[in-house]
A and B are shown apart, each in its own frame.
Chain A
Amino acid sequence: MGLRVNLWLGGVLFVAVVIAGVFAPWLAHTDPVLDANLMNAELPPGEEFWFGTDAQGRDIYSRVLYGARISLTVGIVSQLINTVIGVALGVSAGYWGGWWDDFVNGLTNMMLAIPSLIFALAIMAILSPGITSLLIALGLTNWSYTCRLSRASTLSLKSQGYVQAAKILGYGDARIMFTQILPNILGPIIVIGTLGMGGAVLAEAALSFLGLGIRPPYPSWGSMLSDARDQITTAPWISIFPGLAIFITVLALNLLGDGLRDILDPQSKARTA
């Protein structure tokens, strides 16, 4: 068995980000919101402030740690919503076919035609900014790939002997979908879900950057980047560290997704490597 570098590296990085988020209150040096001190404004990274301070004199290290909470919550929960919607629509469409399939296909094509970030922007503009609205906006706009994938997998499974057998043995439709189809398409769905999670972290950052996600003063990597725009030449560390955090998290999720595909996707050559 070869060394699955992507799986390990992705896994370790992702676990590190999760630990950072979960244990933020213990790892952080200061309160991310309240401990502003203009006397310490725009200090470069040093012994006291590892990542430096921002324009309000807040510790960037602490804010990045707390930012992981928001990014991960949004990334994981919104992707879960996407996955549930995508799988429910995709499996039922593939299994039943007919007008329902046409309808779901039309809906999926429509979702694919609208840039999902623009769609999420529109939803955010209607709802008030905040984490719940973010979850809704990102959870409703990114299910099309999951839906396509589960529909296609269901179509190919439908003609498998054991799915036919289940039908002949009197299984109901719901039972067939849950016991015969779902477990057998779970692998690719986990892969696409993990990759989608990286996308959701990025989307959250983008929305917060545009001021439609998490509102200041709460620390979200996107809004931190947005705040740091003016000082990018004079105090680059204010933007570098949240940017790095986004980069590492998304990289971790993409590597993890890739690594999982290598193990879970029977078509992948790396499986036997």
Chain B
Amino acid sequence: MSGESLLEVENLGIDLKVEDRRYPAVKEVSFAIRRGETYGLVGESGCGKSITALALIGLLRPPLYIGGGTIRFKGQEIQAARAGVIRRLRGNSISMIFQEPMTALNPLSPVGRQIAEMFVLHKGATWKEAEKHAIEALAKVRVPAPDRRVKDYPHQLSGGMRQRVMIAIALACGPDLLLADEPTTALDVTVQAEILELIRDLSADIGTAVLMISHDLGLIANMCGRVGVMYAGRLVEERAADEIFRAPSHPYTAGLVASLPLLGARARHGRQRLQEIEGVVPAVTDFPTGCRFNPRCAARTDICIAEDPPETSLPQGGRVRCHHHA
């Protein structure tokens, strides 16, 4: 690994507490993000991607609790830091954009004010300065006529515009790390591309590292240097983005790649049935013994049911957690 690690997550566990029982919703997840890097987390719904992101900023809500492991941000352990310490990181050093731009803005406040609030809150700016910064921030996210747009209310803006405003808010304070949780899921495909480009350009400008969470492999492949694949609360494979498509190592990753629809010339025999991975992600309270993927895995043998696979480093770089990895 080259470059300094900005964020190091080691053996992170997140427990779901139901009455007196604890279920490990996320177990032994480790990954590191370097400064300025774009790291992707991919997996089906309910695999623990979003709660992993929330755990990073100390916003897990009961019944979810951190079950173990360490989170180091700029060398400082923050998994047990005091609420005030983490709050000063949020929005300032670690920022986030969300899936739903339609609801993430306060409907009763002009967007300019909502951007300006970040400067007031984290940089101690006066409202007057902050409002000037807000116009610049809107210009940076390529909103036309930013000096007029700052006075608009969220309902006056389209979904794409609102997501731009969210990005302006999230990047206002020049954070070191941006958590992007499915930032384009709610948007049109054409707008998606613009938003992703915006995130990529701006984060590169400021030197912000991005943790991109998505279920969309194509998006992840375009945006990210390295990719972590999560399944049922475990990081099952971590590879460089281009390699993961060429030679997926974990059967689950292989299944995800195979289930991508092929368009145009890539579909050799005309129409083809979409490939799918049989079954669904099990409920947290109902994870199988051994490898959590075993009930859906084509390569399953006895050891998969008996033993939890250890993490193995691959000779070509990356890590995988499978008894029969390719």
Asked if residues B105 and A162 are in contact (CB atoms below 8 Å), the reply is yes
B22 on the A face (CB < 8 A): no
Q: Flag whether A46 is at the interface (Cβ < 8 A).
A: no
Residues of chain A lying within 8 A (CB to CB) of residue B106: 162, 166, 179-180, 183-184
The number of chain B residues touching the other chain, given as a range, is: 20 to 34
Bound-state CA distance A84–B9 (Å) is 45
CB of B59 within 8 A of CB of A169, answer no
Q: Mark A98-110, 1 if CB is under 8 A from B, else 0.
A: 0000000000000
Check: B189 CB closer than 8 A to any chain A CB. Answer: no
Q: Which residues of B contact A165 (CB under 8 A)?
A: 96, 98, 104-105, 166
CB within 8 Å of A: which of B56-90? 57, 59, 87-90
Alpha-carbon separation in the docked complex, A180 to B91 (Å)? 16
Judge if B117 is at the interface, Cβ distance under 8 Å: yes
**Which residue of chain A has its CB nearest to the CB of B120?**
A175
Is B107 an interface residue, CB under 8 A from the partner?
A: yes
Q: Is B90 a contact of A170 with CB atoms below 8 Å?
A: yes
Q: With A175-B121, A183-B109, A184-B108 in contact, is A167–B59 under 8 Å at CB?
A: yes
B208 interface residue (CB < 8 Å to A)? no
Tell me whether B89 and A170 are in contact (CB under 8 A).
Answer: yes
Nearest B residue to A167 via CB reads B59
Mark out the residues of chain B between 165 and 181 whose CB falls within 8 Å of any chain A CB in the assembled complex.
Answer: 166, 169-170
Give complex CA distance A170, B83 in Å: 11
Closest A-chain residue to B86, C-beta based? A170
**Smallest beta-carbon distance B62→chain A, Å:** 10
Asked whether, in the complex, the Cβ of A170 is within 8 Å of the Cβ of B121, the reply is yes
A179→B117 contact, CB < 8 A: yes
Note all chain B residues with C-beta closer than 8 A to A160. Answer: 103
The CA of A171 and the CA of B87, in the complex, are separated in Å by 7
The answer to whether B103 and A172 have CB atoms under 8 Å apart is no
A residues contacting the other copy or chain, number (CB 8 A): 17
Residues of A within 8 A of B92 (CB): 170
Q: Are A161 and B103 in contact (CB under 8 A)?
A: yes
Contact partners of B117 in chain A: CB under 8 A: 171, 179
Give the residues in chain A near B103, CB-CB below 8 Å.
Answer: 160-162
Contacting residues of chain B (7-43) with chain A, CB-CB under 8 angstroms: none
Check: A168 CB closer than 8 A to any chain B CB: yes
The answer to the question of B118 belonging to the interface, with a C-beta cut-off of 8 Å to chain A, is yes
How close is A179's CB to chain B, nearest CB, in angstroms?
A: 7
Report which of B90, B107, B169 forms a contact with A184, defined as CB distance below 8 A: B107
CB of A177 to closest CB in B, whole Å: 13
A170 touches B107 (CB 8 A): no
**Partner among B90, B91, B95, B104 whose Cβ is within 8 Å of the Cβ of A161:** B104
- Choose one: A169, A171, A180, A183; the contact of B170 (CB below 8 Å): A169
B159 to chain A, nearest CB (A): 13
Q: Looking at the assembled complex, report how far the CB atom of B50 sits from the nearest CB atom of chain A, in whole angstroms.
A: 12
Q: Which residues of A contact B323 (CB under 8 A)?
A: none
User: A170's contact among B104, B122, B166, by CB below 8 Å, is which?
Assistant: B122
Residue from the set A161, A170, A180, A183 with the largest chain B CB neighbour count within 10 Å: A170
Chain A residues packing against B (C-beta within 8 Å) = 160-162, 164-172, 175, 179-180, 183-184
5 closest residue pairs by CB, A with B: A170-B91, A161-B103, A169-B91, A170-B90, A161-B104
**21 A-B Cβ contacts within 8 A?**
A160-B103, A161-B98, A161-B102, A161-B103, A164-B98, A165-B96, A165-B98, A168-B57, A168-B59, A168-B96, A169-B121, A169-B170, A170-B88, A170-B91, A171-B91, A175-B121, A179-B106, A179-B109, A180-B106, A183-B108, A183-B109
